[in-house]
A = this chain, B = another copy of it.
Amino acid sequence: MKAVAFLLVAVASSLAFTPASSGHADEKATSNSGMTIPPGYRDWKLISVAHEAGGLNDIRAILGNDVAIKAYRGKELPFPDGTIIARLAWNYVPSEENNKVFGREQSFIAGPPTNVQFMVKDSRKYPATGGWGFAQFTDGKPINEAVSKTCFSCHEPARAADFVFTRYAP
C-alpha cells in the first residue's frame, strides 16, 4: 500500500500520553505501540488547514502543541524533541445554509470527524523514522498496526522540512 490515505500514521512507540477530554479522539485508547492521545490537543493552536479530495474527501486542520508552534514561527528545523503535530479531519460536506446566502453552490464545511493523526518528535525513541513517531486514532481507537507502518515512507519526500508537509499559514 502506497499509504495514500495516511500522511501521518503510526509506527512502533512507547510514548505514554493520556487521553484528550474532548474532540475527535475522546476515548481512552492506546495504540498497538503504546502511544495514546495527547491530552488537550483540540485546544492547540492552528498551524494550517487543507482539503484532500479524492477518496479521502476531507477538510482538515493541523494543530500544534506549544513546542511545535514555537518551532514553526521561529523557522526552526529540525523540529525539537517534544514537538507534537495533530491533524484533525472531518468529512467535506456542502453547506446548503451557506450556499443560500452566497447565492451559489460554493460552500464546503466540516461534517462528522473522520480520524485524528499525530506526529511526535522524539529523536531518541524514533531514530529509524527521522525522529518521529506516528499515530492515528478513529473514534478514539488506534489504527491497525500493519497499516500504520507505512507512514514514514510517505513522509520521506518531505525530508528537507524534517518530514513534515504542512507549512505554517500566517
Interface residue total, chain A, C-beta cutoff 8 A: 48
Q: Is the CB of B60 within 8 A of A46?
A: no
Is residue A143 within 8 Å, beta carbon to beta carbon, of the partner chain? no
How far apart are A19's CB and chain B's nearest CB, in angstroms?
Answer: 15
Q: Provide the residues of chain B in CB contact with A73, threshold 8 Å.
A: 22
A51→B60 CA distance, assembly (Å): 10
Q: Provide the residues of chain B in CB contact with A169, threshold 8 Å.
A: 61, 88, 90, 110, 113
Which secondary structure dominates chain A's binding surface?
Answer: mixed
Q: Of the candidates B49, B59, B97, which one forms a contact with A158 in the assembled complex, judged by CB atoms under 8 Å apart?
A: B97
Known: A52-B106, A54-B106, A60-B49. A100 touches B157 (CB 8 A): yes
Binding site for B on A (CB under 8 A): 2, 4, 7, 22-24, 42-43, 45-46, 48-54, 56, 59-61, 63, 73, 88, 90, 92, 95, 97-98, 100-104, 106-110, 113, 154, 157-158, 165-167, 169-170
